[in-house]
Structure 1
């Protein structure tokens, strides 16, 4: 290795290390700030004291009221953690989908996967009932996301849509069809229970509870690690199917496997947050701009940036119309729509 190559490698490792440290610090600060702000302001000292006392009882003197402790521990902290998990999952899925489809516009929302997950969640809430307990909604959301992903692939293949733009069009078409089906389910369901599905149509994190955090975490960690270990294959797929095939990768099978993994993550996240768009689209592009195109870096940093972004999007949603909560999908939709237009203009140039 030449001196120049060694210097570049050292610089690359420094950037990765610095980016990781700064990202984790930003995540921690974002979580604390998310717990502190809201209709009722809680001092950061109280926030850190409550969290420290819950983790290590008796560590600090409890000089706060029971009401503030309930706000911090029972309401805002699980909500902030759910925002981080959902943002990480959607950011990871967006990066993986863009890699295996070679489509810079790929996103679980634009490809109809989120709509399929919402269809499954609505089906469970209004028609089948929670026959498997709390696990029913995530399972049916995953099934809906998987079916939607398969429909997108099928429609794209049937129409000979081999380009990236046409794949997005196929996803948008499937999304409209699936959402129409979801509206039919709402129409046929019990009108008295209709308010339960508004959560999935508008998206929000206000129903977060500690018990809800188990399922996103259990799914995100193993599936996310699996996707990260597949980064070399994704790098090959990013170049082209022919290149991937020469390296011993079956492109169609590998793409379908990644689609299933992405559908699983998306389904579980949508089950507890509703439809949140554009997170995966934006985070993957931002990370590639900062960290380069190697998916071994893009995947974990997309998850990290997605977590931070969605925490701040939820802060905005809670503060801008306090004491009412604006649906978080409104915030991500506004930011993501502007980002999407800018991305299209940049590609045209």
Structure 2
């Protein structure tokens, strides 16, 4: 489905000038870049496993972690014991689908954010900020409002993918000038696209009946409250395909970070690379939007935290962004459903409340670093 990554036959990609420890203000110590990356990866995996177990345990119906592990072992034929009838139903029909969906959506958004920043060569780029998430939401909302069922259970996902893909290429085309992506143009294009997408969604709401208005509201707020195993299976192929392909382009993204001209001299087909990665970003964004609605700022925040910890190398950054995105969204979803019990906070609203101040700080930091936006 995707073209093979254009990797040159030259030597290893350039090493970043500043290590992760130095970026955090810590003197370079015993651990090299690979050691830090391995340590962070292990810590992320361990934290993800622990948080997933907590998320499956905590809720209106408490399931002790030991009983939860017993049920998991019993289902896999490794011993353990079943929970009572209510506990089994809550765990396997409510909690676990939601946990798995949070992992898939968070991994997709985190990875899409790292790829978007690499493609545009801009630390402010993110599928939600530049309008790709809104474009995917328009595709999903349009299919709901029109009652489309062309692809069966895949209809919403396919429409979200097409909307995100079209938006990604429009933003890419409009934000380039003189062979480079301009910061101000990128942000203004994202603002315009988000506004236009909001107008289209408003028009869909105006024309929809009450039942479809409820569904459309779900996309606008962002939530995992309606997670089911069929929804997990519907989004799983898109998410897995995008997450599997993305790391193959890590080396080419490292070379692209040097600039387009040096990357071309080193054998990278820049335009082909960008088209392929925009396709991957649209696929990952569609996978997230199709089941969770518009959830912004995860793809912006996650790659920056990882760059501060381990440097800008994409061989670590791309897969680690998927892991960290899954961790962040799982934690956000747990907070959304427990912070105001018995009510549930909209997940998209919660991530925006946390991510917006981070974006303002990043905007000022980038402006100071570049000496203004001239």
TM-score (norm 2): 0.86
Aligned residues: 341
Alignment partners' CA distance in 2, 1:165 and 1:247 = 29
Residue number in structure 1 paired with 2:359: 340
Q: Which runs of 5+ in 1 are unaligned?
A: 1-6
Choose from 37, 40, 47 the match for 2:58.
Answer: 37
The answer on whether the counterparts of 1:116 and 1:148 sit within 8 Å (CA) in structure 2 is yes
* 1:300 shift after superposition: 0.5
Which of 229, 251, 256 does residue 237 from structure 1 map onto? 256
Aligned mate of 2:309, from 273, 290, 296 = 290
Decide whether the 8 Å contact of 1:101 with 1:164 is kept in 2. Answer: no
What are the superposed Cα offsets for residues 9-58 of structure 1, whole Å, 9 maximum, x if unpaired?
9633322222222111100001011111122222111221222222227x
Q: Tell me the equivalent position of 2:45.
A: 24
Q: Is the 8 A contact 1:90 1:303 kept in 2?
A: yes
SS state at 2:146 partner: helix
C-alpha separation in 2, matches of 1:162 and 1:98: 11
**Alignment partners' CA distance in 1, 2:171 and 2:178:** 11
Unmatched runs of 5 consecutive residues or more in structure 2: 1-27, 369-374
CA contact (8 A) 2:121 2:181 kept: no
Deviations 1:56-78 (A, max 9, x none): 27x1233x321111111110111
Q: CA RMSD in A?
A: 2.0
Identify the residue that residue 204 of structure 1 maps to in structure 2.
Answer: 223
- The alignment status of 1:112 with 2:131, answered yes or no, reads yes
8 Å Cα contact 2:336/2:345 also seen in 1: yes
| Higher share in helix | 1
After superposition, the C-alpha distances for 1:154-197 in whole angstroms (9 at most, x for unaligned) are 33248998422321221221121122112112212223321111
Q: Deviations over 1:288-324 (max 9, x none)?
A: 1111111010000011010000000001100111112
The answer to whether structure 1 residue 276 and structure 2 residue 295 are counterparts is: yes
* Matches for 1:1-349 after TM superposition, within 5 Å: 11-56=32-77, 59-62=79-82, 64-157=83-176, 162-349=181-368
What is the alpha-carbon distance in structure 2 between the residues aligned to residue 164 and residue 194 of structure 1? 36
Distance 1:253 1:20 in 2: 30
Deviation at 1:119, TM superposition (A): 0.6
When normalised by structure 1's length, the TM-score is 0.92
How has the CA–CA distance of structure 1 residues 236 and 160 changed in structure 2, closer, same or farther, with 3 Å as cutoff?
A: closer
> By how many angstroms is 1:116 displaced?
0.8
- Deviation for aligned residue 1:254: 1.6
User: How far apart are the structure 1 equivalents of 2:85 and 2:255?
Assistant: 55
Provide the C-alpha distance between the structure 1 equivalents of 2:330 and 2:104, rounded to a whole number of angstroms: 9
